[in-house]
């Protein structure tokens, strides 16, 4: 009997245990064959232990699955208990095609998320909303990621929602469904363990302005502007932009920007603390390079440490103090004594 036949017969690949494989190999000759008697002797030992092995393996699998489900619920705001039927909403949104959301992952741990619908100033179509959610899921599963740049193709950021799609979903329930879908998506973007920055070129209007608030930072190029134009559409922000804007600039400034539909140019954004820096170039390629360089000062270092930093800040922003402290303690435990910590102790760096 060959080794391959034995493995198939015993289903050993389902239970990847090095010890058992080594025990099995002891029964084989140099040409990786064994007698039926020898195989029978091993199989008795294998089956006697298989049940005991299977139980902890299945328990571990179930626990991992449970943790993933709970994590997804924590990352999102709405679920079925809120009348949120995601698959039905996605199916309806996908009727309104056009544009795309592209994601590239660079070796240095920086992701580039591109809004790509330049004919409509990167306005969100229904398919783009769904694709944004899919790209966020990819980023949640990207274990080597440290930072993210969000920008629009064609030297403009985003003009909000595609009005052709909006007209087709103008009833109250459709509006609520889109609101919940985009709030879920942008909340997940905000909670990514990546340091994110919105690179604002040209115009960021309406939903585009809301998208900038879901990033940790904002960089603007000369001549760009951010504007919450919802009042002109007879609306208020619905993608979480108002709540996040209050956290960024304070309630007074947020009320002025929303109720006055004020144009926020780079200078005003800096004064309000809405933007971190005005870049030197409006050229798309050069601006993207400047954004990479700016972000690198915060993403330089071990992946585990950068991601842990973002997690403790997210906890501090969103949780009550005692819960945030406990979360910080738990995250601290994942890096204390870790490779980066031990390496730093060996280097014994001096702080000046």
Residue 15 has pLDDT above 50, yes or no: no
**Looking at per-residue confidence, does 350 or 76 come out higher?**
76
Residue 253 has pLDDT above 80, yes or no: yes
* Burial zone of 313 (CB within 10 Å; 0-12 exposed, 13-18 middle, 19+ buried): middle
DSSP classification of residue 101: E
Q: How high is the pLDDT of residue 47?
A: 53
> pLDDT digit string (tens) for 181-191?
999 999 999 99
Global pTM reads: 0.79
Distance CA 104, CA 163 (A): 28
DSSP classification of residue 301: S
Q: For 235-264, what is the mean pLDDT?
A: 97
Q: Identify which of 332, 310, 331, 327 has the alpha carbon closest to the alpha carbon of residue 216.
A: 310
> pLDDT digit string (tens) for 145-175?
999 999 999 999 999 999 888 888 878 899 9
Handedness of CA 49, 52, 58, 63 (dihedral sign): negative
> pLDDT digit string (tens) for 197-234?
999 999 999 999 999 999 999 999 999 999 999 999 99
Residue-range domains of the chain with CATH: 83-287 (3.90.226.10)
């Amino acid at each position: 009997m060959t080794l391959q036949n034995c493995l198939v017969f015993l289903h050993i690949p389902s239970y990847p245990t090095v010890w058992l494989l080594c025990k099995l190999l002891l029964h084989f000759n140099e040409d990786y064959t064994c007698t039926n008697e020898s195989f029978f002797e091993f199989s008795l030992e294998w089956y006697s232990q298989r049940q005991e092995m299977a139980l902890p393996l299945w328990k571990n699998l179930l626990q991992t699955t449970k943790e993933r489900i709970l994590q997804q619920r924590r990352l999102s705001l709405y679920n079925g208990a809120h009348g949120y039927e995601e698959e039905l909403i996605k199916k309806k949104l996908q009727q309104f095609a056009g544009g795309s959301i592209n994601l590239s992952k660079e070796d240095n741990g920086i992701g580039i998320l591109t809004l790509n619908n330049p004919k409509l100033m990167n306005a969100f179509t229904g398919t783009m909303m769904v694709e944004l959610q899919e790209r966020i899921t990819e980023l949640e599963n990207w274990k080597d990621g440290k930072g993210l740049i969000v920008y629009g193709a064609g030297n403009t950021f985003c003009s909000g929602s595609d009005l052709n799609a909006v007209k087709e979903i103008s009833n109250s329930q459709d509006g609520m469904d889109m609101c919940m879908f985009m709030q879920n998506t942008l909340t997940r973007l905000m909670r990514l363990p990546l340091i994110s920055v919105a690179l604002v070129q040209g115009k960021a209007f309406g939903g585009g302005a809301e998208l900038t608030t879901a990033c940790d930072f904002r960089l603007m190029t000369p001549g760009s502007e951010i504007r919450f134009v919802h009042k002109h559409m007879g609306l208020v922000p619905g993608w979480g932009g108002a709540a996040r804007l209050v956290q960024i600039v304070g309630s007074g400034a947020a009320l002025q920007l929303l109720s006055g539909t004020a144009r926020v140019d780079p200078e005003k954004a800096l004064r309000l603390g809405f933007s971190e820096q005005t870049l030197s170039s409006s050229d798309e390629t050069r601006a993207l390079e400047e954004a990479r360089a700016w972000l690198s000062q915060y993403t330089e270092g071990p992946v585990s440490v950068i991601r842990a930093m973002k997690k403790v800040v997210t906890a501090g922003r969103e949780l009550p103090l005692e819960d945030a402290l406990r979360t910080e303690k738990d995250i601290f435990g994942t890096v204390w004594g870790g490779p980066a910590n031990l390496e730093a102790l060996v280097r014994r760096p001096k702080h000046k």
